[in-house]
Structures are given as C-alpha cells and as structure tokens.
Chains A and B, each alone.
Chain A
Amino acid sequence: EVQLLESGGGLLQPGGSLRLSCAASGFTFSYFAMAWVRQAPGKGLEWVSALSGSGDSTYHAGSVKGRFTISRDNSKNTLYLQMNFLRVEDTAVYYCAKQSGQYWGSFNDWGQGTLVIVSS
C-alpha cells in the first residue's frame, strides 16, 4: 500500500523559509516522479512543483519559481520542498503526490497534507 506522509508545516512570518518533507513507502520510490500540490483555505488545488524519479528534471509553477525548490533523496524515500521568501499568499495545505510515471503522469496517490501559515 502506498503511503505518503508530509511533515514540516507551521506558522511563520513573511520572508521566512521552511522545508517540507514527504516520507514515502509501499512502492519503489526512485521509479516514480513526485509532485507538490497546495490548497489555500477555501480554494481549489494548485500544482506547485514536480520532479522526475531520478531527480534530474524539475518543474515549478510560475507563482513559486525562484523561491521554492523541489528535491528528493531516493536513499531515504523522501521528497522535499524548500520554500524561501514566503508570502502571505503561500498559506495553504501542501500535499505531496506520487505520479504514475518516472518523468510525468497523473497524480495517483496523495498524502494527507501539511499546513503552512504565513502571517505577520
């Protein structure tokens, strides 16, 4: 059974930094692309970042490009999202998701999310 467990969320001030983690189990982690998706309170889903199974290809939404960095440690079966220069509008529940292929694909499995609140 695929399990994805996010951690690292919290409350912080604008301009701050935070690193989210997503611990994966139940599948061969390095075989699959992974992604982060966020959901602001009361709003819809917004794709944030994705990267390939080997980590050699990364993609970021325009709203976070230059501020957020996605990475992975395949030896630890863990996905990361380094978030810098945080803004109030980055407040959201952040989900990690397993994609269906090694480089891209549908978001077949999701974690339960971790809440990030950016507020002064």
Chain B
Amino acid sequence: EIVLTQSPGTVSLSPGERATLSCRASQTVTGNYLAWYQQKPGQAPRFLIYGASSRATGIPDRFSGSGSGTDFTLTISRLEPEDFAVYYCQVYGSSPYTFGQGTKLEIK
C-alpha cells in the first residue's frame, strides 16, 4: 500500500503569490497515476489534476502538476481568493486508492 505524505500541513500566502504543495509517495507511483483535488469547507472535493500533470476539464491554467516516481508537486502560479482551500493528492492506478492527509492553503 502506498502512503502519501503531503507538506506542508498548512501554508499561509497572499492573493497573487505562488503556492507550491508537495506530495511524497512511500513507493513509486506506477504510471504516474496521481491526482490532485481541491476541497472547500462544506463542499465536495473538486477534481483538478490527473496523471500527475494533466489538468481536468475546466481547471484554470494557473493550476499545474508536476513530478514523477515518488515526488509530486501542485503549483498555483498566482493565487486567486477562491483558491484558498484544502488540497489532497491521491494514487488511483490500483487499489487501495490512498489519499494524502491534505495541505490547507490559507490566506495570510
């Protein structure tokens, strides 16, 4: 079973700044089958990135994913007020479809 560790736990930034969120896997993620999701309070998660670096339909291009093997990154190039939320990474190539513990992106 792959364990995903996200860092930092919480990051405080201002609108317009760049956010870099990390997701580290305990073993190689086969096929780079890693996804990212955004969740705001009281809402369901929203699908952002698949295959480590491909944006889902309708996701703004300020969101980008990168990485391979065991180290992955979600970057938000210029933070908008609506981007402040919790972000989760997940492996989905085979069961168990583990999630990371999440990174909270808060307004500074």
Whether chains A and B associate is yes
CA distance A62 to B1 in the complex (A): 10
- Asked if B50 and A44 make an inter-chain contact with CB atoms under 8 angstroms apart, the answer reads no
- B88-107 Cβ-contact flags toward A at 8 Å (1 or 0): 10101111111111100000
Tell me if B74 is interfacial: C-beta within 8 Å of chain A.
Answer: no
- Whether B8 is near chain A, meaning CB under 8 Å from some CB there, is no
Contact partner, A104, options B45, B92, B99, B101, Cβ 8 Å: B92
Question: Does chain A have a CB within 8 A of B63?
Answer: no
User: A47–B98 contact, CB under 8 A?
Assistant: yes
Chain A contact surface mostly: strand
Pick the contact of B35: A106, A109, A111 (CB < 8 A).
A106
Given A35-B97, A45-B88, is A106 in contact with B47 using a C-beta cutoff of 8 Å?
yes
Question: Which chain A residue has the least Cβ–Cβ distance from B54?
Answer: A106
Docked CA distance A107–B47 (Å)? 7
Whole-angstrom distance between the Cβ of B2 and the nearest chain A Cβ? 12
Distance (Å) between the CB of B9 and the closest chain A CB? Answer: 11
Q: Report A's interface with B, CB cutoff 8 A.
A: 35, 37, 44-47, 50, 59, 61-62, 95, 99-100, 104-113
Chain B residues within 8 Å of A, Cβ to Cβ: 33, 35, 37, 39, 43-47, 50, 56, 86, 88, 90, 92-102
